[in-house]
């Protein structure tokens, strides 16, 4: 059962910019959220909305030199990670906070055996000797259901299927039994059949180890199955946050409504799905005020100003001038 009182992660006014030759890309613009212990918290949005950049910032790997955390605070267990010495952050990353990247193929070193890659966390964070690491590697490979782990430890990534590569990545993330697991589109690079297996595996692991998890995805169906609460991101800003049940039952922001309306409803025959008009604006030139206003059917002149985040009820909040009217 989730402890609704204990917060393990709190993010305040996080801003991340990329300084390019063409101008400044404001990837994340003043994001605030908190995650409770043992909670599965979802972050949803279109591609290029800033989801992955937020995940990278939480483990201190924003792409440099272009990417910079301009301002903000990230409190993990009441310590601001952004103000910590980089060497101290390294002790947390991969140990207390683990990360599952989008593409397992690019995340694994093709020149190193998978056993060696999984074992690095045991060496660095737990100080285990080589003689005792093999047993731990096999143990964690069994947790993620990799067949014949005693033999697979000597395989190279190219010898594995996409699903097995993702299991290796998950095994690496679990090696130190982290308190917080960040999964960035963990199934996007896999075919549909393997996706179902990986989703089931992640759910089992989260329940078994009572881990807190941040699930970054564009898949609302996955959010409905996995998450307790969810935040909707658009152009680097959270536009709505609520419990999964509350968001699906009574969405308030026009963008959230558009996302939910575009989901297949299961009717037979050919059914034309709803599509949100327009597209994400150029990241170099976000429109003034509410970034969704050029695509919003309810936009008014007031929407040229940035709306504040307002509480709807309970843990439901929304960033929209007109949420009470529409």
pLDDT digits (tens, 9 = 90+) for 259-282: 999 888 765 556 677 889 988 898
Q: According to the model, what pLDDT value does residue 146 have?
A: 94
- pLDDT tens digit sequence for 29-39: 999 999 999 99
- β-partners of residue 100 are 183
Sheet holding 23-36, edge to edge: 23-36, 7-20, 67-76, 79-80
Confidence at 231, pLDDT banded by 50, 70, 90: very high
Q: What percent of the chain has pLDDT over 90?
A: 66
Instruction: Evaluate the omega torsion of the peptide bond into residue 65 and state whether it is cis, within 30 degrees of 0.
Output: yes
Q: According to the model, what pLDDT value does residue 251 have?
A: 97
Q: Closest by alpha carbon to 259, among 311, 313, 223?
A: 223
pLDDT at 1 exceeding the cut of 50:
no
Q: Which of 101-105, 125-129, 254-258 has the least mean pLDDT?
A: 125-129
59 within 8 A of 65, measured Cβ to Cβ: no
In the chain, the DSSP E strands lie at 7-20, 23-36, 40-44, 67-76, 79-80, 97-100, 180-184, 212-217, 229-234, 237-243, 310-313, 316-318
pLDDT at 4 exceeding the cut of 70:
no
Q: According to the model, what pLDDT value does residue 3 have?
A: 46
pLDDT at 129 exceeding the cut of 80:
no
Mean pLDDT of all residues in the chain?
91
Q: pTM of the predicted model, to two decimals?
A: 0.91
- pLDDT tens digit sequence for 148-194: 999 999 999 999 998 999 999 999 998 888 999 999 998 877 787 88
């Amino acid at each position: 059962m989730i402890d609704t009182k204990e917060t393990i992660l709190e993010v305040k006014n996080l801003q991340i910019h990329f300084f390019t030759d063409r101008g400044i890309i404001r990837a994340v613009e003043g994001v605030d959220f908190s995650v409770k212990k043992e909670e599965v918290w979802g972050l949803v949005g279109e591609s290029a909305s800033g989801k992955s950049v937020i995940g990278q910032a939480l483990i201190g790997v924003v792409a440099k030199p272009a990417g910079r955390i301009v301002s903000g605070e990230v409190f993990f267990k009441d310590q601001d990670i952004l103000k910590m010495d980089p060497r101290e952050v390294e002790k947390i990353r991969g140990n207390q906070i683990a990360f599952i990247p989008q593409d397992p193929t690019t995340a694994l070193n093709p020149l190193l055996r998978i056993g060696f890659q999984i074992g690095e966390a045991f060496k660095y964070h737990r100080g285990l000797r080589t003689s005792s690491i093999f047993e731990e590697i096999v143990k964690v490979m069994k947790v993620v259901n990799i067949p014949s782990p005693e033999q697979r430890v000597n395989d190279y990534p190219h010898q594995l299927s996409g699903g097995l590569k993702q299991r290796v990545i998950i095994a690496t993330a679990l090696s130190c039994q982290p308190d917080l697991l960040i999964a960035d589109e963990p199934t996007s690079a896999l075919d549909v059949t393997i996706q179902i297996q990986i989703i089931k595996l992640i759910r089992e692991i989260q329940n078994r180890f009572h881990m807190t998890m941040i699930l970054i995805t564009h898949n609302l169906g996955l959010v409905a199955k996995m998450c307790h609460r969810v935040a909707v991101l658009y152009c680097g800003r959270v536009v709505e946050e609520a419990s999964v049940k509350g968001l699906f039952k009574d969405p308030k922001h026009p963008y959230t409504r558009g996302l939910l309306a575009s989901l297949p409803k299961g009717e037979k025959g050919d059914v034309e799905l709803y599509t949100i008009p327009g597209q994400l604006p150029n990241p170099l030139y976000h429109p003034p005020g509410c970034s969704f206003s050029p695509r919003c059917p309810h936009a008014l002149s007031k929407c040229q100003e940035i709306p504040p985040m307002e509480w709807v009820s309970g843990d439901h909040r929304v960033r929209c001038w007109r949420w009470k009217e529409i």
